[in-house]
Structure 1
Amino acid sequence: MNRILLRLAVLAKALDGGLQVLAALLLAAVPPAVITGAANAVISRDLVGDHNGTLAHHLSRAAYSLAEGRTFAVVFLLAHGLVKLGIAWALHRRMVAVYPAVCAALSLFVGYEVVRGIRTGSVGLFAFALLDTLVIAVIARAYLRERQPVQVP
């Protein structure tokens, strides 16, 4: 069961990291006007309900914030994605010696995601923080299990 959880954590980190790298590259290529234009198109076509409603307000604010803070988003997604791909590679190779460093790196990401999420109200950052926290727990458990001395019968 532990190996299955670890493999799922590796898969989650690899997919998460790969998607973040792709999102960073896409975001770097898309002009800010396209981002805000797409959000306005969704809002104006009644796809989110009331134009002045909560969902429309959050979508509009998120698009504007993303367009304004695009450089930060690209750098964050690219760095976060590359680190997570490295973590997935180390976990896949079962490099037990780096598991504590992996947990430390993910803990830094969690701390940053929570602080930034509180400041910006970003639900996405809280989702990343939750996923990273679950992966830390799985990695720590695998590390403790791997470090236990083998008992010879």
Structure 2
Amino acid sequence: MEKTRPGTGALDRTFRVSLILKGLDGVLELIGGLLLLLVTPEQIGALARFLTQHELAQDPHDVVANSLLHLTANLSGSASLFGAVYLLLHGAVKIVLVWAVLKEKLWAYPWMIAFLLVFIAYQAYRISVAFSWGMVLLTAFDIFIVWITWHEYRLRRAQSRMPVG
């Protein structure tokens, strides 16, 4: 049975695609967290040097390559462990909430919104400390997800209160 409400088909599809993208992001975070647990900071640094050597040979001032090398050069064991735990927890929570919202579990909508609002606040802090267009775009996407989740939650809650008949 089709659950799409009249006039909201495109918004429903946008909502579902956005959630699926968020879920895939959660899967990537889980993979990243596992890799941080399994790979030493030294191995990460060696991989970064290998991946950037060709680009830096062509352009020694390449911003992305130099940023990657700087980031991996300063990676310590404790920072790697923190990153792994952060990514694993963040990814797992995201996957569970996305799954529950896609299954239209009403309890999951407010949790998804709250979860994203906490990370939006953290991302805003990160933007103020170290501006990055990537972080700005991620934050804008999260704000969109919060808005569309709130919209869908209100519709689903109203639907669940309607008498069946």
TM-score (norm 2): 0.76
Q: Which runs of 5+ in 1 are unaligned?
A: none
Max Rg structure = 2
Contact 2:29 2:87 in 1 (8 A): yes
What is the letter of the counterpart of residue 35 of structure 1? I
Aligned-partner Cα distance in 2 for 1:12–1:44: 32
Aligned residue for 1:25?
Answer: 34
Alpha-carbon distance between aligned partners in 2 of 1:131 and 1:58, rounded to the nearest angstrom:
24
* Aligned counterpart in structure 2 of residue 145 of structure 1, from 149, 155, 160: 155
The SS at the match of 1:45 is helix
Whether the 8 Å contact between 1:42 and 1:48 is mirrored in structure 2 is no
Q: Which of 44, 47, 64 lines up with 1:55 in the alignment? A: 64
CA RMSD of aligned residues (A): 2.5
CA drift of 1:125 comes to 4.4
Q: Equivalents in 1 of 2:93, 2:53: separation in Å?
A: 38
Pick aligned residue for 1:85 from 52, 76, 95: 95
Aligned counterparts of 1:111 and 1:93: Cα–Cα separation in 2: 27
**Cα distance, 1:134 vs. partner?**
2.1
Q: Deviations over 1:13-68 (max 9, x none)?
A: 22111111111001211111111112222333335742244333212222234x23
2:50 maps to which residue?
41
**Pair 137,49 (structure 1): closer, same or farther in 2 beyond 3 Å:** farther
Residue identity opposite 1:38 in structure 2: L
Q: What's the secondary structure of 1:96's corresponding residue?
A: coil
Shift in CA distance, 48/97, structure 1 to aligned 2, threshold 3 Å: farther
Compared CA separation, residues 128 and 77, structure 1 to 2 (3 A): farther
Q: Using the alignment, how far apart are the partners of 1:122 and 1:78 within structure 2?
A: 23
TM-score (norm: length of structure 1): 0.81
Structure 2 alignment gaps of length 5 or more:
1-9
Q: CA deviation at 1:105?
A: 1.1
